[in-house]
Amino acid sequence: MIETLLEPFAYEYMLRAIWVSALVGSVCAFLSCYLILKGWSLIGDALSHSIVPGVALAYILSLPYSLGAFFAGFIAAGSMVWIKKETRLKEDAIIGLVFTTFFAIGLLMFSINPIAVNIQAIILGNLLTISHQESVQILIISIICTLILIFNWKNFLAVFFDERHAKSIGIETTFYKILFFTLLSAATVAALQTVGACLVIAMVITPGATAYLLSDRFGKMISLSIVIGSISNALGTYLSFYMDANSGGLIVCIQTVLFITAFIFAPKHGMLKHRKKEVIHG
């Protein structure tokens, strides 16, 4: 029995997949706390799809994929800001317009160029076939993001909670907003490998949303979110070994199960608690 349970750890590729996904999961979870509170969740989705053409271009030019992804993410974010400024269009329309365009360009580039990379790997993730070099890239990205977040989480909190106050105490709010989107792009690039472009959005929303139901204090919410993100990612990867299933799908399903559990049973903000309150008051 125990032997069967430990079996995945005997394979180097499984071990690597597990720690990489846990790491990426925790960085994304950290960012998700900010993203969901600002109502910017869709921007995260847009970013993850927009980096696909960057990845394609990087493969064609044989540059590191993260460089291309990063660059494309930046252009996408920039064009969203620019269109918003120049037109009267609502934000959701602009986001929808930009990310589908970028995603389409990415697909076109992949289909026209006969390149070795499997397009499925970009869209669905390729966690189990991650190379040593790629895992080092992810490790570096994650460590840098985590350090920046740990040192600045309160500044980010001040900016996200009350921008004018943040400014009035001398915090450079524009700098922090740009920094946040830079971190988000970086984390998205890293997460692209693990769950793919389609499901990245879950990693930067679900853990934070779950933690939000469980806590009234931001610091605690971050810790909970990180625990949820890393454990569900590691567990999903681990289980995919036995189920012979797509690890990205499994990870996101586990996150959703945790969310539903919190949604129903959360001590203060859960559905059951709300029902009880209604019964008492009504």
Partner 1 sequence: MIKIDNVGFAYPNGQHALEGINAQVASGKICGLVGMNGAGKSTLFKLLTAHIKSKTGRIEIKGSSVKKALQQNLISYVPQSDEVDWDFPVLVKDVVMMGRYGHMGFMRRASKTDHEAVDNALERVNLIAFKDRQIGELSGGQKKRVFVARALAQGSEIILLDEPFTGIDIKTEDALIALFKALAAEGKLILVSTHNLGSVPSFCDEVMLINKTLLAHGPVETTFTQENLSKAFGGMLRHHHLVGDDLHDDEDARTLTVLSDDERPLVFYGEQGGQKITQPGNKDD
Footprint on this chain of partner 1 (rule: CB under 8 A): 37, 151, 154-155, 157-158, 161-162, 164-165, 167-171, 212, 215-218, 221
CB nearer to partner 1: give 4 or 88: 88
CB of 268 to partner 1, least distance (A): 9
What span, in angstroms and rounded, lies between the C-alpha atoms of 244 and 262? 28
What span, in angstroms and rounded, lies between the C-alpha atoms of 278 and 282? 5
CB of 82 to partner 1, least distance (A): 14
Helix (H) or strand (E) holding 242: helix 218-243
What span, in angstroms and rounded, lies between the C-alpha atoms of 187 and 138? 9
CB nearer to partner 1: give 101 or 155: 155
CB nearer to partner 1: give 4 or 168: 168
Tokens of 48: 């993850």
Residue 5: HSE in the Cβ half-sphere, 13 Å Cα cutoff: 3
CB nearer to partner 1: give 177 or 239: 177
What span, in angstroms and rounded, lies between the C-alpha atoms of 170 and 230? 34
Residues 6 or more apart from 166 whose CB is under 8 A from it?
155, 158, 159, 173, 176
CB nearer to partner 1: give 41 or 135: 41
Residues 6 or more apart from 270 whose CB is under 8 A from it?
213, 262, 263, 264
HEC sequence for 43-107: HHHHHHHHCHHHHHHHHHCCCCHHHHHHHHHHHHHHHHHHHHHHCCCCHHHHHHHHHHHHHHHHH
What span, in angstroms and rounded, lies between the C-alpha atoms of 62 and 152? 35
CB nearer to partner 1: give 75 or 177: 177
CB of 40 to partner 1, least distance (A): 13
CB nearer to partner 1: give 209 or 250: 209
CB of 32 to partner 1, least distance (A): 13
CB of 223 to partner 1, least distance (A): 12
Q: Do 181 and 35 form a contact (C-beta atoms < 8 A)?
A: no
CB of 239 to partner 1, least distance (A): 31
CB of 269 to partner 1, least distance (A): 10
